[in-house]
Structure 1
């Protein structure tokens, strides 16, 4: 295993990189207006989720999230990849 393997999830992948790294490539190269729109939409959803969690768990919901991440690492990684791919699709489809 190379010292760079932590950077890439699929070392043997022809395109090298994880869905998150590919998302970053798209963000930096896609139409700026499209990226801004989708990132603003993402942030609104994130804000709504945080307000919802704060309402349900109080201001210490961050500790609950941290514990959830540790206890459900594989599921969180899978969902992170899925969200990255979803956001890539949104940006690419609007940039064509």
Structure 2
């Protein structure tokens, strides 16, 4: 799936923050972080990364620069297989 389709809500968030303007040449970029650590630590790190992008997560209105955050749940077999193929080297380095 193309990034623009996966993050389809981001251009609309930008337009809400900049009424009457068009995004022009702006593009969607994705940053992935591979981690091999206990779930609780992963949640904490994810919250810290979210605050890097948006220091005040409780502000009113959309962020000036739209963003989103997600994670892959290793509890599902298909996701576990994907994670193993993609990030097995992290386990080997641990």
TM-score (norm 1): 0.25
Higher relative helix content: 1
Q: Which has the higher contact order (CA 8 A, sep 6+)?
A: 1
